[in-house]
Amino acid sequence: MALQSIADFEPNYKEEIFAGEDIKGFDVYAGDSDEKVGTVYDALVDETGKFRYLVVDTGIWIFGKKVLLPIGSARFDYGAHRVHATGLRSKAQAEQLPAYNEAEPLDYDGEEQVRGVYRNQGTVAASTPASTAAITAAPASYDRSNYSYDLDRPLYETNEQNHQNFKLYEERLIANKNRAKTGEVAVGKRVETQTAKASVPIEKERVVIERVTPVEAGRVVSVGDADFQSGEVARMEVYEETADIHKEAFVREEVNIRKEVVRSTVDGEETLRREELDIKTDGTPVVDDKNI
C-alpha cells in the first residue's frame, strides 16, 4: 500500500479536491483545545487516492519533528483554516510517534508504529463520534500480507461530522475544435493520344516547251544569215517543294497547387446544470453564509 504526497498524486489538487483551498499551512490544534501543536505540512494518499494521513510539522512544540496524523483523527474547520487533531491530545503522545521523513518511503512497519501510538491512546475526546471512540486495541490476526485500512476504520474513516466540506458543481459549455483528416487530393499527369492531321500546300516547277511558228516563217534567208551550230543548249533549273510534317513538344500550361482555409462557425446548444446551496433551518439558528 504505497503512500504518496497529495501533490504527486494530483498536481492540481487545490482545484480538483479542495475547490481552490489548500489545507497545507492549516494550523493544527490538540483535540478541541486552543493549544496549537503545529501546521499541516502535507497530506498522504494511497494508490487509490484516499486520504490516509496528514503530515503535521510540530514546529516549536517538538522542535523540528514531523509526525503523522491519521485522517480519521482529524476534524477540519475550513472557515478558520484549522485542523483539530482529535487523536493527538498531548505532547507526550506526539513524542512517542516516529518522526516522518519525506525522503524515506513509509513502509508497513513504519505505519504500524504510528498506528500503535494512536490505538493505545485510550478513549478519544468526548466530542468525537461514537464510531471513532475507544481505540484501545489492535485488530486481531493480521500481518503485512493481509492488512487493510478497513481493519482500523476509526483511524482512517472520514465522516460527515468531522469533515464538513463539499463542492458545488456547475456545468459549463466548452467549445473546442478537433482537426481531423477528411481526405487527400493527388494531382498527377497522364498522357493522352490523339491523331492530328495537317495539310501543307506544296509547289512543283515544270518546264513547258512551246513551239510556235514565227511571222517570218517560210522566208528565205541568205547563206550567211543561217548559223547552223550543234551543241547549243538552253538550261533552266526546276524546283519543287516537299512536305515536312513532324511533331514538337511545347509548354501548354503551368499548374500551381495550394490549400486555402475556408472558415465557418458551428453553433451548438446544451442545457447546463448548476448546483446551489439549499439551506434549511429548524428554529432560529444564526447562519453566516460566507463566500470565501
Q: What are the tens digits of pLDDT across the range 13-64?
A: 887 777 677 888 999 998 878 888 889 999 999 888 888 999 999 887 777 7
Residue 93 sits at φ, ψ, to 5 deg, of: -65, -40
Cα–Cα distance, 23 to 37 (Å, whole number): 16
**Predicted local distance difference test score (pLDDT) of residue 219:** 81
Coil, strand or helix at 137: coil
Place of cell 514531523: 66
Place of cell 516516529: 98
Q: Are 162 and 76 in contact (CB under 8 A)?
A: yes
Kindly tell me if the per-residue pLDDT of 126 is higher than 80.
no
Cα–Cα distance, 137 to 131 (Å, whole number): 15
Q: Does pTM surpass 0.75?
A: no
Q: Are 1 and 46 in contact (CB under 8 A)?
A: yes
Q: How confident is the model at residue 123 (pLDDT cuts 50, 70, 90)?
A: very low
Over residues 142-175, the pLDDT tens digits come to 888 888 888 888 888 875 445 445 455 677 888 8
Kindly tell me if the per-residue pLDDT of 292 is higher than 90.
no
**Predicted local distance difference test score (pLDDT) of residue 36:** 87
